[in-house]
Chains A and B, each alone.
Chain A
Amino acid sequence: MGNRGEGVPASLPLAPPATSPAARVPAAPRLLDVASARRPTRPSIWRAILRQRLALTGACIVLFFVVLAAVGPFVAPNDPTSLVGVPLQGPNAEYWLGTDEIGRDVFSRLLHGARVSFQVGLVAVGIAGTVGTALGLVAGYRGGWVDNVLILLMDIIFAFPAVLLAIAIITFRGNNLLNAMIAIAVVFTPAFMRIVRGATLSVRQTQYIEAAVSIGTPLPRILARHVFPNITAPLIVQVSLVFAFAVLAEAALAYLGLGNKPPAPSWGSMVSGSYGSLRLAPWASVIPGAAIGLTVLGFNLLGDGLRDALDPRLRSAH
């Protein structure tokens, strides 16, 4: 922050490093404290501890998932697409999670599937986050007709149920993993735009923005250097939550045979592929299904915990 030059008052409120998010919204927590002091509620120490513990659990699950996605394909004992053993074996010493309906190793497929889920989540959230943030910054800062047009665009995409729009996009654009990523990105771009727009609206009112404008800072620089650093808290939370939905969406699409094409493994397609032999080999669908649920839960827990930690204004709402 020192490089902003001396005598520029705008740099002062911009100073808080990422480690003290509370400093970014100095007014709000104090107001809440007054309100809660008057309200006869018990101190929520237990809730705070539980929330932290949940957030920590979420972080561990996410970390585990990331490691799995990174090294899984290298440590997988078998090829995920080749028929390695007798079909429908239960979990045993050789095939830890059993074999599926045509004799592929469920464990190896699970490891490879983790990478697909992670890849899709990463690319989709990356695209949606970048585009949504840019649009949200512009909409929130410029206001007026630009804002109206962008809100309209957002409302239009929101009108489509997420998975249905993704299905439609993939059906028409062609069924492959890239189009699945694009489809999921399109669906979730408004989620980022809405959050960033809202945060930008409140940052725009502050004096340091006024100061930056008054010394003639160009618009892109204001957005990048003054607005963006102050809206990262809600953005980080949103990244975690949308990642959860993206993994869920990829699983749903894969279940329908969209995206990563069989026989290449994807958690969603593993559930649907082995559904027919549910009675004989429940593990082959239940285990990948549980993997999806656990991963999504991890991102949701992390996102929720981050929201509590980074956004004191929302603390009372929980």
Chain B
Amino acid sequence: MLTFILRRLALLVPVLLGVSILTFALVKQIPGDPVSQMIGVDQRTTPEQVAAIRRSYGLDQPLPIQYVRWLGHVAQGDLGQSIRSRRPVTDELRLRLPVTVELTLLAALFATVPALVVGTLAAVRRNSALDYGATIATLIGISLPNFFLATLLVLLFSLRLEWLPPLGYVEFTRDPIQNLQRMVLPALSLSLPLAAVLMRNTRSAVLEVLSQEYVRVARAKGLEGRSVLWRHVLPNAALPIATVAGIQVAALLGGTVIIEQIFSLPGIGRYIFDAIANRDYPVVQGVTLVVAAIFVLVTLVVDILYAVLDPRLRTAR
């Protein structure tokens, strides 16, 4: 067990280093001179000044040294500052990350509940009309772009039915009701593809358990269907379902860009959206790095939890 955790932790290092190298390499993809691109050098700047700027940013150093320096800054929580607002990226992320995390968790909630119920039912009543319906719904769910869904939801709820306040953001601590009112539609738009993936996964996890010997034994000794399901099937299917759910939800963090823009939510997605238009390189780089790092860490936690919770893995490793 401990060796598994240690091995998993050791694996973390190269992945995180790789993520950082890839993010660092992004800057080197800028066509032309990064100094003039990043700092907005105009006609009046003399070559000497450009060279001075280059030196002050350490851009005259060889790449590995630049990388190590940059990594040193990142390790201290310094992701550089926005070209446009001049505010440190880290400060801005600290303000904006909670918005995106709330949105993601709410979407996860919306997705998980129906996915579990329908997925389980579809597996238990395999080949029933409900199962077919669920299969088709899943395929539609993963095919619709979330911005299209958001467009339809806005059209339906706020324009036709005039139900919810369409845009803006109110802090949860200030007014939870208003906050949730504004979060419902974006969270719904995000949740459909997630629900589809989770439902499909729940269905196959439950089917997998249903085919096990111990389920047949439970049936053979005369347990009725419902208690077989609750006592034997679901507990055993829960772990693989939860693992996929954890990873999928973490992946959602980076997928909120368009939704946050549509619903004017000041999260990290909106941050990166604004940065694209202004070619605010440090912002794009910082957000990308942080989101990937969070994803890697969540995957790690999910893996370790799986190993801790699954007795079979506990002894095997």
Do A171 and B276 touch (CB < 8 A)?
yes
Given contacts A47-B132, A156-B19, contact A167 B284 (CB under 8 A): yes
Do B258 and A256 touch (CB < 8 A)?
yes
Stretch at the interface among B113-121, B137-145, B170-178: B137-145
Given contacts A159-B292, A159-B295, A282-B155, contact A171 B279 (CB under 8 A): yes
Do A165 and B288 touch (CB < 8 A)?
yes
Q: Does B105 contact A (CB under 8 A)?
A: no
Main secondary structure of the interface of B (DSSP, over half): helix
> Using an 8 Å CB-CB cutoff, how does the interface string of A188-207 with B read, 1 for contact, 0 for none?
00000000000000000000
Assembled-state Cα–Cα distance A5/B38 (Å): 63
Q: Shortest distance in angstroms between B245's beta carbon and chain A's nearest beta carbon?
A: 16
B24-38 contacts to A (CB < 8 Å): 26-27, 29-31
Q: Does B207 contact A (CB under 8 A)?
A: yes
A25-42 contacts to B (CB < 8 Å): 35, 39, 41-42
> Using an 8 Å CB-CB cutoff, how does the interface string of A274-289 with B read, 1 for contact, 0 for none?
0100110010011001
Given contacts A159-B295, A289-B151, contact A41 B126 (CB under 8 A): yes
Q: Which residue from B143, B273, B291, B296 sits with its C-beta under 8 Å from A296?
A: B143
Chain A residues with Cβ below 8 Å from B211 are: 35, 39, 316
Q: Shortest distance in angstroms between B46's beta carbon and chain A's nearest beta carbon?
A: 27
> Using an 8 Å CB-CB cutoff, how does the interface string of A8-37 with B read, 1 for contact, 0 for none?
000000000000000000000000000100
Chain B residues with Cβ below 8 Å from A304 are: 139
Number of chain A residues whose Cβ lies closer than 8 Å to a Cβ of chain B: 58
With a 10 A CB-CB cut-off, give which of B144, B277, B285 has the most chain A CB atoms. B144
Do B288 and A168 touch (CB < 8 A)?
yes
Q: Does B188 contact A (CB under 8 A)?
A: no
Do B276 and A293 touch (CB < 8 A)?
no
Chain A residues with Cβ below 8 Å from B275 are: 171
Stretch at the interface among A65-73, A118-126, A247-255: A247-255
Q: What are 13 inter-chain pairs, A to B, with CB distance below 8 A?
A: A42-B126, A54-B136, A54-B139, A159-B18, A159-B292, A160-B19, A160-B288, A164-B272, A167-B257, A255-B145, A279-B159, A292-B145, A293-B143
Q: A-contacting residues of B (Cβ < 8 Å)?
A: 14-15, 18-19, 22-23, 26-27, 29-31, 126-127, 131-132, 135-136, 139-140, 142-145, 147-148, 151-152, 154-155, 159, 204, 207-208, 211, 251-255, 257-258, 261-262, 272-273, 275-277, 279, 281, 284-285, 287-288, 291-293, 295-296, 299
The 6 closest A-B pairs by CB, nearest first: A161-B254, A289-B148, A156-B18, A164-B254, A297-B143, A296-B143
Other than A163-B254, A316-B207, give 20 A-B pairs with Cβ distance below 8 A.
A35-B211, A44-B126, A160-B19, A160-B254, A160-B292, A161-B252, A161-B253, A161-B255, A161-B295, A164-B287, A168-B284, A171-B276, A172-B285, A173-B29, A173-B31, A251-B147, A255-B145, A286-B148, A317-B208, A318-B135
Q: B-contacting residues of A (Cβ < 8 Å)?
A: 35, 39, 41-42, 44, 46-47, 50, 54, 152-153, 155-157, 159-165, 167-169, 171-174, 244, 248, 251-252, 255-258, 268, 271-272, 275, 278-279, 282, 285-286, 289-290, 292-294, 296-297, 300-301, 304, 316-318
